[in-house]
Amino acid sequence: MNNPFSSLPILDAATARTSILQRPAWDEITVPARLLGGIEAVFGERISPDEAVARILADVRKRGDAALLEWTARLDGVTLSSLTADQDAVAQAYAQLDDAVVAALRLAAARITAFHRRQPSLTWLHEDDEGVLGQIVRPIERVGVYAPGGTAPLPSTVLMTAIPAKVAGVPHVALITPPRRETGLPHPAILVAADIAGVDRIYLGGGAQAIGALAFGTESVAPVDKICGPGNLFTTLAKRRVFGMVGIDGLPGPTETVVIADDQANPELAAADMLAQAEHDILACAILLTPSRALAEQVQAAVMAQLEELERAEIILGSLSRGSGIVITDSLDHAFELANAYAPEHLCLLVDEPMRRLDQVRNAGGVFVGERSFEVLGDYVAGPSHVMPTGGTARFAGPVNVNDFRKIISVIGLNEQAFQAIGPAAETLARTEGLTGHAAAVTRRYDATSSKRE
């Protein structure tokens, strides 16, 4: 194993700004030669991931189930006889899972449900002498959740996406997730999580072909109005291509954590939090910002020691070697300045009196306040969804929540008094924009009103 000291550098702020704090957008990441080779093996020519996704989507749109089954066989190595998982499969999944796992999923589901039920309704109507203005809130009718397979099953992602949709009142939530080669079904934990979350239908499929099936519909897969859930590069590219035909929750990139720590922080816990993030995949980013060089060196050493105990050490080393590191800041205020500029998915505050520092947080998907409120709790059981904005999109976006599955309909019910008061301004603005038809819609009502009076 390589020495992690060479993989987790300690940097000054100026150097960090031009390296680990200057991450590329998700679609600017260099595509590994191995991935390009895999695409060439499938398509018979060397094309980009985006072109590969475009071809898969076009095929699913044209051939439906047949294309979905064929791409599942070619890319996932699974030959399916059905594209759905029925209640018998769910019952078998419960039997295969340890009771403690089922109990943990139910605990997580209860907390996620309770958290999202606290989000207020936005429906309001205001009536006065001019009539009624307001807005009504309606749930999206059909939502599709994508749960990736990858190197580890993610039943927590099913809970974190499907439950907010159900709390929002979505009448039909579908899950699509890759089948495993051994069984032709998803991991039992994913099936159980879907049942606990109240998912209405479970489809089998992964990658771009799964996104295409949800967006376009096939003989077996009903089309949805919005797609949510994280995935790999191909899934993200597919979501970008179908956006506009359906809604999406965002374009998730590699996961990331920024830890802000002072000289009183426990270096063992800071290291553990960074390693927990780094083990997701080699593109994950784990960054420590601290004004204490002594702490930085202690965390670096703790990472080395703890890494020896972890099963996914090779993945962690890949993560630590590219977008991760420790940054020495001038002060804690400087650390918050850098964090807000980076706009991390997760921001962990291992500082004295962390609640007093919340006002300094401007950009983050989620902020974890103190050593006992660490990111892993948020990943599973705290309550808020762990599907959070990445790649700097926390500057303008937030975690998946109930409002992602609702739409606002404006209500405009004005009367004659309002028309007389504001009609002239509407006519003026219409003529300013050169829209004489708009202006005429106003003036004809003046004429109609005058005729009635006569």
pLDDT tens figures, 144-188:
999 987 666 889 999 999 999 999 999 999 999 999 988 999 999
Which among 346, 375, 386, 427 is annotated as catalytic?
346
- Name the token pair of 352: 């004295």
Sign of the dihedral through C-alpha 231, 53, 285, 344 = negative
Please give the model's pTM, rounded to 2 decimal places: 0.92
* Buried/exposed 285-294: b ≥16 CB within 10 Å, e otherwise: bbbbbbbbee
Annotation marks residue 256 as catalytic = no
Annotation marks residue 345 as catalytic = yes
Which among 256, 279, 345, 427 is annotated as catalytic?
345
What average pLDDT does the chain have?
93
pLDDT tens figures, 372-399:
999 999 999 999 999 999 999 999 999 9
The strand pairing partners of 411, in sequence order, are: 134
- Please state the φ and ψ torsions of residue 20, each to the nearest 5 degrees: -70, -25
pLDDT tens figures, 102-134:
999 999 999 999 999 999 888 999 999 999 999
Sign of the dihedral through C-alpha 320, 302, 335, 251 = positive
